[in-house]
Amino acid sequence: MSTEAVLKYYKQTFGGDPEQLAFAPGRIEFIGNHTDYNAGLVMGVAVAEGITVAVGRRKDRFMHFVSDGGEAVALPLDSLSPVSGLASWTNYPAGVTKVLLEAGMEMPVGYNMSITSTLPAGAGMSSSAAFELATAYALSAIYGYETDKAGFARIGKKAENEFVGMPCGILDQGVSAFGQADHIVRIDCSSDLFSLSAMPAGAHFWIFNSNKKHSLVDSAYADRHRECHEALAILQKAYPEVKNLSEVSEAQLRSQESELGDLLFRRALHIVGENDRVRAVESALLANNLDAVGKALSASHESSRVNFENSTKELDFLAVQLQQQAHVYGARLTGGGFGGAVMALTDDKFGAEHAAVIEAAYQAEFGIEASIFHTRAGDGAQTL
């Protein structure tokens, strides 16, 4: 977290000291790709990197935001609506503000906010959810609103769904809220049930950012969301008791392959397979079998490539190169896909010299530098 920088930006822009600081981490989607909005199972890891905000109340009914020392953006508290263009990044805190007001939080005056991030932009590590959670924690502290971790996760999700316009599930916000050092967050999205699994000793996370940035709101994410629901509607004709794709067995799915057609069948097969892979990973972690975990991660990437088609040639290259390296258990794209980053689960012998081999091969292939960083499972959102 970057408390010195966020305080500096606040003082430079607004003068004086803020009333409250809050931090929320980004996340690695460990396994369970696009299962969250299909009411399925997913595992994620809160990372040490994230977003820090500093907030203080104003005397008028405006919100002023400044990020990384740039020009402040002012928005009226009494007419909250999404903005476009260069200021669209303010939709995340504005959306959270709107959701908190709808939930009953009283805001007699607006606020100033400065923001700093240690997350790589566009790498699929959910800076948006971190921004939402940090905002929710800070505003709740200064305006006197109380809820639990699950409540904060739902506030962030609602802001992103209804204000930002991104039809995400609760994975990103849930992991940011429930993260714990050296643990994986497991979410049953059918009931928003959160639990923690300890990471085996010696397991490390390496993130290889393809530097092919994505913007999920403008990408095929919404198409995949729609395709999943179209597949479900067809499956429900044969199996009316099924409420979501994650309740469908592979046998049920294959019985309707001709009805679904190739595209919808593959989309549904990815979701059904991902839920099975989450269960396999959970069992493997209990048995401290990181080889089995790695195989499931690599199988997840292959399904993303073939069935869900949310990978890219850059992500595929990074995943395959990593999977072939010694000391790597497995590798897969992390996040929504369509660009972003690949996560590698490694042992403690994998180091910077191994990462440099991958980066050199990637640059030779695409003429792009991959950004690399080594992270750990960190704690969840908190006031500072």
What amino acid positions are annotated as catalytic residues?
A: 172
Q: Strand 62-67 to strand 111-117: parallel, antiparallel, or no bridges (unpaired)?
A: parallel
Radius of gyration of the chain (CA): 21
Whole-angstrom distance, CA of residue 178 vs CA of residue 199:
15
Q: Exposure of 4 by Cβ count < 10 A (0-12 exposed, 13-18 middle, 19+ buried)? A: exposed
Contact by Cβ (8 Å): 182, 198: yes
DSSP symbol at 348? T
The token pair that represents 159 in the structure block: 């802001």
Whole-angstrom distance, CA of residue 280 vs CA of residue 73:
47
- Number of neighbouring beta carbons within 10 Å of residue 223: 12
What element of type H or E holds 4? helix 3-14
Q: Hey, what amino acid is at 18? A: P
* CA nearest neighbour of 343 among 301, 290, 284, 283: 301
- Number of neighbouring beta carbons within 10 Å of residue 238: 12
Query: Helix count (H) and strand count (E) of the chain?
Result: 11, 12
Alpha helices in 126-202 (DSSP H): 127-143, 149-158, 171-178
Angle at 376 between CA 354 and CA 346, to 5 degrees: 35
Whole-angstrom distance, CA of residue 157 vs CA of residue 170:
6
The token pair that represents 302 in the structure block: 């292959």
- Number of neighbouring beta carbons within 10 Å of residue 218: 9
